[in-house]
Amino acid sequence: MEFVTLSMGSTLPIVGSGTNTFGKVDRNYMGEINGDTTELKDAITLGYRHFDTAISYRNEAVVGKAVKESGLPRSEFFLTTKIPGKEEYTANEAAVRRGVEESLAALDTSYIDLYLIHHPWDNLAEIPGVWRVLEEYVDQGILKEIGVSNFDEKELGHLLEHARIRPAVNQIESHPGKWNDGIISYSLENQVIPEAWGPLTRVSDEAQEALSAIGTNYNKTWAQIILRYQIERGVVVIPKSHNKERQALNLEIFDFELTEDERKIIASL
């Protein structure tokens, strides 16, 4: 595993696992929570330590349960969760605190490694107020790092102007057909680590064919080529799979490097 260092000094595994359909009936995002930790335990056995959840996913408790069931120390894990950018959680300081405490209780932990604002909202002037509450939790050591998700250049720039603690991460959609190069470059320029959600989603047949052709040079799958491309350009990835074999493959991306020509082909997809 490789790591990146975040703004407050934490080390983040560059490959993690999304969880938004874990612990749910029929593995459906909107499915009822059933508490099943099978996929999480498989991932932990394979070596995953970085897991990404959110209040909106409703399954923070499932992630916390898997961590407990693993028998490993809490310090072995890097847990990310997110507070919704909704008035229920952002209206005032008390609302923000309720969200943080809700996450702590659900994850059954005394601290959270990375806490994100899940998405921005129209009134940018309100976001720094929410951020200041999160900064106070960093001061207390309860939130180790704080960041944002789905912020564009304008939204991230506004927060950077008003933040005392620089956002550690900007988690954004990034995959073939929507690499989101602009916000990735802007984030990196401002020392905010870009993190790709859904890195293996919405990949066209044409893109898969081109990626698979590159993969033959390294005995790698099209999915592994995507993940390798992302980490080579400084993007953390959180692929998600319910299949243990594919979970394993998503970690096997550290034994090769793409050529400049290959990166140009991938960037054009």
Kindly give, in sequence order, each residue whose CB lies less than 8 Å from that of residue 142, ignoring residues fewer than 6 positions away.
100, 104, 110, 111, 112
Q: How buried is 100 (Cβ within 10 angstroms: 0-12 exposed, 13-18 middle, 19+ buried)? A: buried
Catalytic residue, chosen from 57, 115, 137, 186, is 57
* Alpha-carbon separation of residue 110 from 55, 145, 167, 221, 257 (angstroms): 17, 14, 21, 39, 39
* Beta-bridge partner residues of 149: 171
Q: Residue 118 and residue 40: Cα distance in Å, rounded?
A: 22
Distance CA 83, CA 98 (A): 10
Sign for the pseudo-dihedral over CA of 237, 243, 249, 251: positive
- The rounded distance, in Å, linking the Cα atoms of 120 and 115 is 14
Active site residue 57: yes
Q: What angle do CA 26, 148, 169 make, to 5 degrees?
A: 100
Eight-class DSSP state of 89? H
**Cα–Cα distance list, 15 to 28, 32, 158, 196, 224 (Å):** 23, 28, 28, 10, 12
Enumerate the β-bridge partners of residue 17: 51
**Rg of the chain over CA atoms, in angstroms?**
18
Q: Which residues are catalytic?
A: 57
